[in-house]
Amino acid sequence: MPTMPVGLIDGARRLTLHERESPVPTPSTLVVDISLCGICGTDVHAWESGQLLSPAVCGHEWAGTVAAVGSEVRTVAEGDRVVVAVPPACGRCGPCTAGHAGYCEQVFLTQIGADAHAPDHGGFAPSLRVGPGRVVRADPRLSDAEAAQIEPATVTYHAVARSGLRLGDTVVVQGGGPIGLTTLQWARAGGAGRTIVVEPTPHRRELATTLGADVVVAPGPEADALVRDETRGLGADVVYECVGRPETVQTAVDLVRRGGGVCLIGLAGGQAPITPATWLIKEVAVSAALAYLHDEFETVMGMVADGRVRLEPLHDHTIGLGDLDAELAALADGRSPHTKVLVDPRI
């Protein structure tokens, strides 16, 4: 049986390439040959801690081509370009029958790699066997690099849609990484009047300006003063927390105005120190976004394909599987000069 290398985190600060049998489809599954897979912030956090959310989501930002389909699969065919996604709501679980299809249990299990067809590894591999609900056809106008970034772009689309953003709002985006830079673009597309990006890295601040940020600033007292000046002392209408560190949760609340909104997008591990009195006094509306809905993928692909949201500028480095452990270390330690790293398992 042919084998292939599979990248899996198997300890704190350690990713190992394991040899696994090359997948073949069962009647109800399909096999995707991975073209590119993005490194997500959650991959970096998992590498630092050694704690995987699920092996199936160790490398969950992938795109590729359908290599083989099972006899029962009807939604895609061999040769289709696809991006990773989630299925429509099942219509049968408790949340669905209660009218909350956006919280379908089957979709949630698919998101976290715990559904019946979840593989024992993610997209850091040449091939992957998944259920048909895990893919949608890629918009043919997308490049491979854009297709591999549709998953995180859909996360941020979902977040901004949930955040209560109104036309003309002043928005602060904490973090100028790939999540923050796509959040910035969705906020602008959604009608934000003024956008401020808080980011410590100079080249990411420059990229934020290129992608439409009105003001960029390093975190700290300078950022606090700038937000006050930009909002006549009120604070931002909406703050998007895209850093994913415990200490930045409270910072987001500190920067928002009374009655404003904070949207948590970055996944902070561990307990976050907060000042509850500030949340109470400000009457902050808090939203959060874990992932996305099935129908959002078509919208996102269309807006990327027509240029309203730009993903190509984020991608500035491509590596092979053999360089993955070292790149995770560089990203975790802040030594990497790159914004969005894509892994090509064919290298």
User: Which pLDDT score is estimated for 76?
Assistant: 98
User: Which pLDDT score is estimated for 165?
Assistant: 98
13: left (phi over 0), alpha (psi -120 to 50) or beta: left
pLDDT under 70 in the chain at which residues? none
Do 336 and 319 touch, CB atoms closer than 8 A?
no
Task: Please report the DSSP string for 248-295 in residue order.
Answer: HHHHHHHHEEEEEEEEE-S---SPPP--HHHHHHHT-EEEE--S--TT
Q: How far apart are the first and last CA of the chain?
A: 22
User: Which pLDDT score is estimated for 1?
Assistant: 76
In the block, which residue shows the tokens 């895209």? Answer: 242
Specify which residues 3 forms β-bridges with. 21
User: Which pLDDT score is estimated for 136?
Assistant: 98
| CA dihedral sign of residues 318, 322, 324, 330 | negative
The token pair that represents 265 in the structure block:
């997008």
Q: Residue 177 corresponds to which amino acid?
A: G
Residue 113, SS3 per DSSP: coil
Q: Give CA–CA dist 295/172, Å, rounded.
A: 27
Question: What is the DSSP code (8-state) at residue 132?
Answer: G
User: Which pLDDT score is estimated for 246?
Assistant: 93
Specify which residues 173 forms β-bridges with. 197, 240
Q: Give CA–CA dist 288/170, Å, rounded.
A: 19
Encode 185-248 in three state secondary structure.
HHHHHCCCCEEEEECCCHHHHHHHHHCCCCEEECCCHHHHHHHHHHCCCCCEEEEEECCCCHHH
| β-pair type (256-264, 285-288) | parallel
Q: Residue 38 corresponds to which amino acid?
A: G
133 C-beta neighbours (distance < 10 Å), count = 18
> How many Å is the Cα radius of gyration of the chain?
20
CA nearest neighbour of 328 among 18, 45, 35, 55: 45
What confidence tens digit (pLDDT) does each residue in 257-293 have? 999 999 999 988 789 999 999 999 999 999 999 999 9
Question: 341: burial class by Cβ within 10 Å (0-12, 13-18, 19+)?
Answer: buried
Do 181 and 211 touch, CB atoms closer than 8 A?
yes
The pTM for the full model equals 0.96
Q: Give CA–CA dist 288/276, Å, rounded.
A: 17
Q: Give CA–CA dist 183/3, Å, rounded.
A: 39
Q: Give CA–CA dist 100/96, Å, rounded.
A: 5
Q: Give CA–CA dist 128/75, Å, rounded.
A: 17
